[in-house]
Amino acid sequence: MNWWGKFLGGGFGFLIGGPIGALIGVVLGHNFDSGLKKLQYEDQDDLSPGAQERVQATFFTATFATMGHLAKADGQVTPDEIKVAESVMAQMQLSPEQRKVAIDLFNEGKKDDYDLRAVIEQFRIECRRRTNLMQMFIEIQLHAVYADGDRHPAEEQLLEEICEYLKYPKFMLRQMETLVKAGRKAGAGQGRRAPADTGAFSVDDAYQLLGVAKSADKNEVKRAYRKLMSQHHPDKLVSKGLPPEMIKVATEKTQHIKAAYEQIKSSRGWK
């Protein structure tokens, strides 16, 4: 049985425990022992199949609940912010039942008693050192923040808190913001992800997205590009715990990285 079947069957809430298990219990109508805080974590680089499924369930739960929390940060949830959540659900091609769970998680995140720190810290523990998964998580949250065309100070504060709880460097948050803004430009401000297009990036954006200086030589730029493409390869992310339903989201990210690289090549006249 895949992770969806186990998730919807209620088993993951029991296995995960803690605040994320509690969220799963609430949306599925189950009661779980809150004393089951976490399982034992192994040191091997790749997750065993069971652990991988647990990370997938955790990613899904934390993603939609935190998205709801961020949407409410400025005092109201706008139609554009709801559209972003719906667009992620559409990209994942969720079934009606799965979509209902995602919406319920979004609504749980909007509640005043949503424990952001506890959820994010548990998500970090489940992910262990998988920075790529954290990057994908933050990218989705940034799309939610910029859905209404602007970033409210309260949303900025929450984003920085999320990075702090994840132990995720702030300079990488800024790099991710560049990618999200460029994607929104390509989408003509419609609050949706758009196909990669070199015209969506300024040259400055492209350098920032790849994390290299404008003075970098050809080999440095190429190394940065290949490293990012390797880190964000959809199949690799799924093996690390990204829900398979999010492959399309990951694929679009690699398209933007490629578009930035092509923009730099074009600006320098490289073949």
Query: DSSP letter string over 150-186?
Result: S--HHHHHHHHHHHHHHT--HHHHHHHHHHHHHHHHH
Do residues 232 and 132 lie in contact, with contact meaning Cβ atoms separated by under 8 Å? yes
Tell me how far apart the alpha carbons of residues 89 and 191 are, in angstroms, rounded to a whole number.
14
Q: Which residues of the chain have pLDDT under 70?
A: 1-2, 8-14, 31-50, 148, 179, 182-201, 240-241, 244-246, 248-250
Cβ atoms 54, 15 nearer than 8 A: yes
The alpha carbon torsion through 218, 222, 223, 227 (nearest 10 deg) reads 160
- Which pLDDT score is estimated for 35? 42
What is the per-residue pLDDT for 32?
58
pTM of the model: 0.74
- Tokens representing 28 are 């599925």
Q: What pLDDT digit, counting tens, does each position of 53-99 carry?
A: 788 888 899 999 999 999 888 777 878 778 878 877 887 777 888 88
Q: What pLDDT score was predicted for residue 42?
A: 39
Q: Tell me the C-alpha distance between 178 and 142, whole Å.
A: 10
Do 122 and 19 meet the contact criterion of CB atoms below 8 Å apart?
Answer: yes
The residue with tokens 């400055």 is: 204
At residue 201's C-alpha, the angle toward residues 200 and 203, to 5°, is: 150
Pair 230, 212: CB distance under 8 Å: no
